[in-house]
Homo-oligomer: A and B are copies of this chain.
Amino acid sequence: MSSLLIRGGTVVNADLSRRADVLVADGTIREVAPNLEASDKTETIDAGGCLVMPGGIDPHTHLEYPFMGTRTSEDFFTGTSAAVAGGTTMVIDFVIPDAGQSPIDAYSVWRARAEKSAADYGFHVAITWWDDSVREAMGTLVGELGINSFKHFMAYKGSIMVDDAVLIRSFERARELGALCLVHAENGDLVAHAQAALLGKGIKGPIGHALSRPPEVEAEAAHRAIRIAQVLGAPLYIVHNSCAQSLAALERARHEGQRVFAEVLAGHLLIDDSVYRSDSWDFAAAHVMSPPFRSREHQAALWRGLETGLLHTTATDHACFCAEQKRMGRDDFTLIPNGTGSIEDRMHVLWHHGVNAGRLTENEFVAVTSANAARIFNVYPRKGSVSVGADADIVVWDPQRERLISSKTHHQKVDINLFEGMVVRGVNVVTMSRGHVVFREGQLLTEVGAGQFVPRPPFAPVNASLQRKRMASALDEVT
C-alpha cells in the first residue's frame, strides 16, 4: 500500500499536544516527529494550522437494529459512513439476543450485518436471559470471538430487561472472564407502573415518555448496579448517564474506590426536555429515547461530570427512526420506537461546546471522544492514539472552520437532526480510516465493507489493580 504524510499539523493526544508530522503506511502510523521527509511516492496532506487527532470512537450505537416492531433506519454502511463524515472512525455496536436465543447465534447475525461497514467496529453482547448455556456462551465469546464487554438492560420490562438475579450471575461470570459489564440503568418496574398510570390518566403523547422516566428512576438503577458490582468486585460501565442524580451515584462509588466507568451522550449534553412540549407531534416523537432528555440543570451537571473526569466517554446511542416509524406510537407513547441519532455530529458538538467554551482542553477532548473508550474497551493504543504502531484512524481538524449542522446536509439516514441549525466551529477536513482517506473536504469516500471487526481482548489494564487485589468483598474475605 502506498504511504501518506500528514504534514505541518499539531498532533493532539490525550496526554499531550506537539508539533509533528505523521507518516502512515499500510494502514498504520509509522512515524510521528517534526519535519519528516516524504519520499516521491508518498502522498502529502497539508495539516498546516490544523490539529491531527485520533479518529473518534463511538462506543454505543445500534445500527440495523430490529426494535419495537421496526428496525433502525441506519445500516452498518450508512451509519459508519456518517460516522467518518463526522470524524468517528470506530463504533462499538450491540448484539442483542432475543429471549432464549443463543448469544453466539445472535453474535453471528450481527457480524453478518456488519460486513458492509465502511469503518472499523466491535460489539458488546447483551445478556437478556440466563441459563447455563448463556454462561458457557460468555466464555466462548470472550475466549474466541473478540468480545470483552456485556450489556444488561435494567429497563424494557417484559422484553429485554433482566432482574437482579441475572445481573448478579452475569456480573460474576464477566469478572471471572476479565470482561466488563455495561448497564442501561432505569428501573423497569417503575417505568412500567408510570406508563400504565399515565395512559390511565389519558396522557398518550410524547410528553408521557418523559414523565414515565424521571431522573430518580435512572439513578435508582445506576446505584443498584453499582452496589451489585461493588459486592461482587466487578468493574462496571454505565451507559448514557443523563442526570445529576446518576452522577451523584457515580461520585459516591468513585469516592469509595470502585472502578466504575461512565458514558454520556452528545444529545443529553445539549438537548433539554422542552422538546417534548413541542406543538409538533413528529418533532416531539423524534426525541423519544431512553433515558429521555432532561431539564436544564442536568445538562450543566453532565458537562461538569465531563470536566471533572467523572464521565469518561461520549457516545451517541445512535438508533434512528424516521417520522413514519415513530408514528407507530401516534396514539400511545409507549409504542413510539425509542431512539435518536448523532453519530455524525458528536465530535463537532463536543469540540464546539466543550473546547471552544473552555470546558475541556483539546487533550481532554481526545480523551473523552476516543482515548478513554479505547482504554476501557482495551483497544488502546491501536485505537485512540496518534502514535507509532497505531492504526491510522486519524482526523485532521481545522479549529477555525465552521459548519452548519442540518438534516438537509447530513449523511445520517434519518429525517431529523438533533442539533438542527447549530453552527459549530472546528471541523474535520480529512478523516482517515486505517490509512485510507474516507472523508475529505466534505466528500465521503467510503467503500462498502472496508471496515473490519476489531477483536477486543479481556483483562484490560485499566482494571489491572482490580484484578490483582483481593476485593473488599464478603466472599473473598474468607478465602
A positions within 8 Å CB-CB of B: 14-18, 33, 163-165, 168-169, 172, 187, 189-190, 192-194, 197-198, 201, 203, 207, 210-214, 216-217, 219-220, 223-224, 227-228, 230-231, 248, 251-252, 254-257, 297, 304, 307-310, 355, 357-364, 371, 375, 380-381, 385, 388, 461-462, 464-466, 468-470, 473-475, 477-479
Contact = CB atoms under 8 A, between A and B. Distances in A.
Given A33-B388, A304-B256, A465 B360 contact: yes
Contacts of A18: 381
Oligomer: number of copies: 4
A257 B304 contact: yes
A357 B469 contact: yes
Contact of A227 (B220, B359, B466): B220
Contact of A255 (B203, B207, B304): B304
B227 A216 contact: yes
Contact of A308 (B257, B385, B388): B257
A15 B307 contact: no
B359 A469 contact: yes
Contacts of A362: 464
A474 to B, nearest CB: 4
Nearest to A203: B478
A211 B248 contact: no
A15 B251 contact: no
Given A216-B227, A231-B216, A360-B465, A194 B308 contact: no
A193 B211 contact: no
Contact of A361 (B14, B248, B464): B464
A363 B16 CA distance: 16
Contact of A219 (B210, B227, B309, B475): B227
Q: Which 9 A-B pairs have the closest CB atoms?
A: A358-B469, A220-B227, A358-B468, A164-B189, A211-B474, A214-B474, A361-B464, A257-B304, A168-B193
B231 A214 contact: yes
A358 to B, nearest CB: 2
Contacts of A357: 469
Nearest to A256: B304
A211 B478 contact: yes
B304 A207 contact: no
A129 to B, nearest CB: 16
24 contacts: A16-B461, A163-B163, A164-B187, A165-B189, A168-B189, A187-B227, A190-B228, A201-B479, A216-B230, A217-B227, A219-B227, A220-B224, A248-B252, A251-B255, A254-B309, A257-B307, A257-B308, A355-B465, A358-B465, A359-B465, A359-B469, A360-B465, A361-B464, A364-B465
